[in-house]
Structure 1
Amino acid sequence: MAEKTDYELKAANLLKAELKRKGVTYAGLVEKLAAIGVVDAEANIRNKLSRGKFTAAFLLQCLSAIEVDNLRL
């Protein structure tokens, strides 16, 4: 299996940190994504975050769903 690049690791950690900060579980994220019209299974989301392989669109959808307005990089 290929190792995560620095940016994949950074993106995954950023999203995980925002989920933690907002107190949102993966199951909660599934519900919040569904509310904005994005259907995905909890297992798929868990795998995406674990692998660090997801699109910028998915990152923005997740941040929007959990109502993150500002990010500090």
Structure 2
Amino acid sequence: MATTTKAKKTKPPKPSARKDNPVNVEYEKKAKELVKYAMSQRSADWEALANNLNALGVEITPRGLENKISRGGFSAAFALQCMEALEINLAALPR
């Protein structure tokens, strides 16, 4: 009788944290700086931006907002919401 041997399956690569990728770190820093710069241009503090975001329907506290921005790992949608809340038009986008 002939026997067959199964090929050994290789394990999938270990996932690495998104924060470990230097490119992500660089762009998260840029996103954080963009929001902070926009706030400075409008003389807005965390409370003012949080109030404006809440008016748009984004529920966040001033402290939660500060934490989110300081971590830098927020979505592009959130960055655009911040720009709208600060009344900054990044580009005339078609609606």
* TM-score bucket (shorter structure): 0.7 to 0.9
Secondary structure in 2 matching 1:54: coil
- Is residue 31 from structure 1 mapped to residue 67 from structure 2 by the alignment? no
> What is the SS of the residue equivalent to 1:64?
helix
Amino acid at match of 2:47: A
- Counterpart CA distance in 2 for 1:38 and 1:60 is 12
Q: Which has the larger radius of gyration?
A: 2
- The structure carrying a bigger helix percent of its residues is 1
**% of aligned pairs identical?**
36
TM-score normalised by structure 1 residue count: 0.86
Conserved? CA contact 2:46–2:65, under 8 Å: yes
- Give, in whole Å, the separation in 2 of the partners of 1:54 and 1:21: 21
- The answer on 1:43 being equivalent to 2:60 is no
**Greater relative contact order (Cα 8 A, min sep 6): structure 1 or 2?**
1
Residue correspondences, number: 70
| Cα distance in structure 1, aligned partners of 2:73 and 2:90 | 22
Unaligned runs of 5+ in 2: 1-18
Cα root mean square deviation, aligned: 1.6
- 1:1-73 aligned within 5 A: 2=19, 5-70=25-90
Moved over 4 A (4+): none
Deviation at 1:49, TM superposition (A): 1.2
Task: Provide Cα deviations, 1:6-56, integer angstroms capped at 9, x if missing partner.
Answer: 000000001100001110100001110111111111111111111111111
